[in-house]
Amino acid sequence: GQNIDQPTEMTATEGAIVQINCTYQTSGFNGLFWYQQHAGEAPTFLSYNVLDGLEEKGRFSSFLSRSKGYSYLLLKELQMKDSASYLCAAMDSNYQLIWGAGTKLIIKP
Amino acid sequence: GAVVSQHPSWVICKSGTSVKIECRSLDFQATTMFWYRQFPKQSLMLMATSNEGSKATYEQGVEKDKFLINHASLTLSTLTVTSAHPEDSSFYICSARVETSGVTQETQYFGPGTRLLVL
C-alpha cells in the first residue's frame, strides 16, 4: 500500500535548526512536496523535489533520496512564526498526492 | 506563486440545507482541481478530483450524490454539500494543480479554505 510517515510533533528553540524527516512508499513516484499549515489555515506550498539532492530556498531546504524513499525539510534560524504543522506529500504514478499526517513544530523562545 | 481563491470563507447553515463553495484559480488555468476535507487536528483527506469538462472522480467513501462537484471552466470548480448535516461540519479546502510544460512539476496551490458549520 501507499504510506507516508513523519513524526507527529517536534520541539525546537528559536534561532536553532530543525530537520523534519519523511519516509514514503508509493505506487510510482512523481515528486515529493512539503507544505506548511498554520492552525486554522490552508496549507501553503514550500518545496518540491523530484530529483535526488538538496534544494535550498532561503531559510528552508528540502532533501530527497529516491532510492531510500526519504525526504527531509530543514528549517534554519527558526522564528516563532515557523510554529506550524509541516505536511509531507508524495505524488504517485497517477499524479495523486499521498499525504502524511503532518508534523507539528513547536518553537520555544 | 499561483493564487487560488475560495468563497465563502465560512458559512453557518441549518441542517438539511445545501451549501455551495466556489474555488477559483485567479491567475492561471487549472484543468484539474482537488477538494479536500480536514477535521480538527487531522491531515487533509482528499474527497474528489475535479476535471474541467468531465465528471469528478470521487474517493472511496465519499458520496457523490451528497457532494456535487462541477468544474465548468478552467478557472472555476464548485462543491455543493447537499442536505447538510452536523457531521458535515468541517474545513473544506480546494487546490488547483499548476502544470508546467517542459518541467516535471505539478504543484498544487491551495485556496484559503471554507469553514462549514451545520447546526
Cα–Cα dist A105/A83, whole Å: 5
Contact A48, A31 (CB under 8 A): yes
Q: pLDDT band for B51, please (50, 70, 90 cuts).
A: confident
Residues 74-103 of chain B whose Cβ lies under 8 A from any Cβ of chain A: 93, 97
Q: What value does the mean pLDDT of chain A take?
A: 94
Strands B67-73 and B57-58: unpaired
Cell numbers at A32, concatenated: 515529493
What pLDDT digit, counting tens, does each position of B84-113 carry? 999 999 999 999 987 665 544 567 889 999
**Quick check: B38 pLDDT over 50?**
yes
- A46 vs A1 pLDDT, higher one: A46
Residues 6+ apart with CB under 8 A from A15: A77, A78
| Chain B contact for A31 (CB, 8 A cutoff) | yes
Q: What value does the mean pLDDT of chain B take?
A: 89
Residue A97: per-residue pLDDT: 85
**Full 3-state SS string of A23-55:** EEECCCCCCEEEEEECCCCCCEEEEEECCCEEE
Residue B100: per-residue pLDDT: 63
Contact B116, B90 (CB under 8 A): yes
**Quick check: A75 pLDDT over 80?**
yes
Residues 6+ apart with CB under 8 A from B53: B71
**Quick check: A29 pLDDT over 60?**
yes
Residues 68-107 of chain A whose Cβ lies under 8 A from any Cβ of chain B: 87, 91, 95-97, 99-102
Give phi and psi for A57, each to the nearest 5. -145, 90
What pLDDT digit, counting tens, does each position of A30-43 carry? 899 999 999 888 89
To probe the interface with A, which of B44, B109, B114 has the most A CB atoms within 10 Å? B44
Residue B104: per-residue pLDDT: 45
Cα–Cα dist B13/B5, whole Å: 21
